[in-house]
A and B are shown apart, each in its own frame.
Chain A
Amino acid sequence: MAEKVLMKGNEAIAEAAIKAGCRYFFGYPITPQNELPEYMSRRLPEVGGVFLQAESEVAASNMVYGAAGAGARVLTSSSSPGISLKMEGISYIAGAELPAVIVNIMRGGPGLGGIQSSQADYFQATKGGGHGDFRLCVLAPSTVQEAVDLTMEAFEIADRYRNPVMVLGDGIIGQMMEPVQFNKEIDPADLPKKEWATDGARGRPRNIINSLALDPQDLENHNLVLKAKYEQMKEQEVRYATYLLDDADRAIVAYGTTARIATSAIEMAREQGIRVGLIRPISLFPFPEKVIAEAANRLDSFLTVEMSLGQMVEDVRLAVNGKKPVFFYGRTAGMVPSPEEILEQIILMGGGGE
């Protein structure tokens, strides 16, 4: 077992990417994720990699598009307003079927918003975000260790599906310090060669990286290929955790930092004899709809808690499909729900129904 080190979330994610064999980073500064590119600018030269501060997020995401097409494991990171700009490149990366990892350490919006922690980019992350029919695989850590593990997995998933993967953290995950360990280290030289990459057509037919298909039938066929990948993700990449769900009569659904706060609220409620449990989606796309649908057969009600005014709650409602009431509680714009506020909602949702 590797030894534990105390690290800030942003830096731990950066180191995890390096341990996953990523040697290329293109980004643009924005709070609250600056420690990530700063760390990369120190570390990547040490391991023979390239850190490049792009002129904008638009450029950064297109550099990622180029590097991914050239066959490299490549990372970019940003926070909400920057992710909006990156969506151009991300849509092309998805369209051209390239692997890449994007980290979004969310802050409050819309517009310039604020710099405090938020979960208001759930829609953008899970419903495509850019133009066209595409999906990102979205992974949402709730601890710094999980941010490390999911970042390493993100590169594997990206390569497996040739699809961009987003690690979606909130500002608190990015800024918090926790002990972490890195249990794996991949040498990029050991990764399988990407036969489709643009690295010079030496002794082989040429490779083309492209997202254009002017014939609508061709383009529809291509979209169906993409959809088949998303369906496969739904079969194979769903990740979630539960807490005290077995004997529960009601459940909170929350992800990321909010799930940790909800855990405190659940413990307070349990002391009062309220049998409440937690379902914590870890993959936001594919969404763990089956576990929620199954719970809806058994539990009396659900409460979705988010640092937004209600985004994931729509997916929870789809999964519950009208079988049981789904309540919502959210704080947004950098405000964080307290365990006491959530406890109050747990009591209000009344396990026995309305």
Chain B
Amino acid sequence: MKLLAGYPEALTEKPFHYCPGCLHGIVHRLLAEVMDELEIREDTIGIAPVGCSVLAYQYFNIDMHEASHGRAPAVATGVKRVHPDKVVFTYQGDGDLASIGTAEIVHAANRGEKITTIFINNAIYGMTGGQMAPTTLPEQKTTTSPYGRDLDLAGHPIKMSEMLSVLDGSIFIARVSVHDPKHIREAKKMIKKAFLLQLAGKGFTLVEVLSTCPTNWGISPLAAIDWLKENMLPVYPLGVLKGGEID
């Protein structure tokens, strides 16, 4: 008999610590479902970041390695080079991946490391209390851009997926969102595609997931969904930026 719905085996029983309305939990669930569907739970090693998802190692029912801030792609490189036949993914926030860990993600992608990165872009530093991230939008108020992000002072929202897709080592880069069921389904498809390409031994794969941080955006979960749609989608257009063919 085939299980059509239920609690994913790739998640532990541990309740998430995420704030109400935070979308990290949805992405965890999608990842777990993909691992179950591909039957790779026992062959996958996940790398947790430093950020709100630092405790991801408590939630995925797989071998996990907790990295230092931004270095998950380097840790993943070490794991994958030792176990090239295993599936290795990193799960990273935008402070982790797009700020302190820029060098590590760029070079992992450029080397064509056969890993998958799940990149959660919520336009802010969640864990440390709502400071500006490199992905923070123009005029967006954060605790370290109290007058709104000033592009002269703080530069522009960084488009990591666009940057990474020009590197020869990356084979699949997609930007998705999880703000409604339709987009959640699409996000899962992209995550699955990335894992399939990794399994095919092709190269570096990344799925950027637009997400919310109601707590530090200072609005309700529902208002946060609207804010994402109105403000983030125009700056971070969804879609496959590179690749995606599975042959």
Contacts and interface: CB of A to CB of B under 8 A. Distances in A.
A206 B42 CA distance: 9
Contact of A212 (B66, B81, B83, B106): B66
Interface residues of B, number: 34
Nearest to A209: B65
Contacts of B79: 66-67, 69-70, 198
B23 to A, nearest CB: 23
A67 B45 contact: no
Interface in A38-81: 50, 52, 54-56, 58-60, 62-72, 74
B74 interface: yes
A200 to B, nearest CB: 5
Contact of A65 (B43, B54, B75): B75
A89 B47 CA distance: 15
A216 interface: no
Interface stretch (B25-33, B55-63, B159-167): B55-63
A207 interface: yes
Contacts of A72: 82
A325 to B, nearest CB: 45
Contacts of B55: 212
Contacts of B83: 70, 199-200
Contacts of B242: none
Interface of A: 24, 26, 50, 52, 54-56, 58-60, 62-72, 74, 88-89, 92, 96, 198-203, 206-212
A210 B82 CA distance: 18
Given A26-B78, A52-B81, A200-B43, A65 B62 contact: no
Contacts of A70: 45, 65, 78-79, 82-83
B117 to A, nearest CB: 14
Nearest to B66: A210
Nearest to B107: A55
Nearest to A200: B43
B39 to A, nearest CB: 12
B228 to A, nearest CB: 29
B64 A206 contact: yes
A200 B87 CA distance: 9
B104 interface: yes
A65 B55 CA distance: 18
B41 interface: yes
Contacts of A211: 66
Contacts of B81: 24, 50, 52, 63, 67
B74 A54 contact: yes
Contacts of B107: 54-55, 59
24 contacts: A26-B77, A55-B106, A58-B103, A58-B104, A59-B71, A59-B74, A59-B77, A59-B103, A59-B104, A62-B104, A63-B74, A63-B75, A63-B77, A65-B78, A67-B78, A70-B82, A199-B63, A200-B62, A200-B86, A202-B43, A206-B61, A206-B63, A208-B57, A210-B64
A71 B45 CA distance: 13
A71 B86 CA distance: 13
Nearest to B44: A200
A164 to B, nearest CB: 14
Contacts of B111: 52
Given A54-B74, A59-B77, A71-B82, 13 more contacts: A58-B74, A59-B104, A62-B104, A65-B78, A66-B77, A66-B82, A69-B75, A70-B65, A92-B67, A199-B45, A200-B63, A201-B62, A208-B64
Contacts of A24: 78, 81-82
B215 interface: no
| Most A Cβ at <10 Å: residue of B47, B78, B107 | B78
B213 interface: no
B76 interface: yes
A200 B103 CA distance: 27
B82 A62 contact: no
A204 to B, nearest CB: 9
Interface in B1-48: 41-45, 47
B145 interface: no
A209 B100 CA distance: 21
Contacts of B216: none
A199 B86 contact: yes
Contacts of A71: 82
A66 B78 contact: yes
A60 B71 CA distance: 10
A7 B43 CA distance: 42
A201 B75 contact: no
Contacts of B61: 201, 206
Given A62-B104, A201-B42, A69 B68 contact: no
A66 B90 CA distance: 12
Contacts of B80: 66
Nearest to A207: B63
Contact of B74 (A62, A202, A207, A212): A62
Contacts of A54: 74, 107
B141 to A, nearest CB: 29
A45 to B, nearest CB: 13
A82 B107 CA distance: 18
A41 to B, nearest CB: 14
A233 B68 CA distance: 27
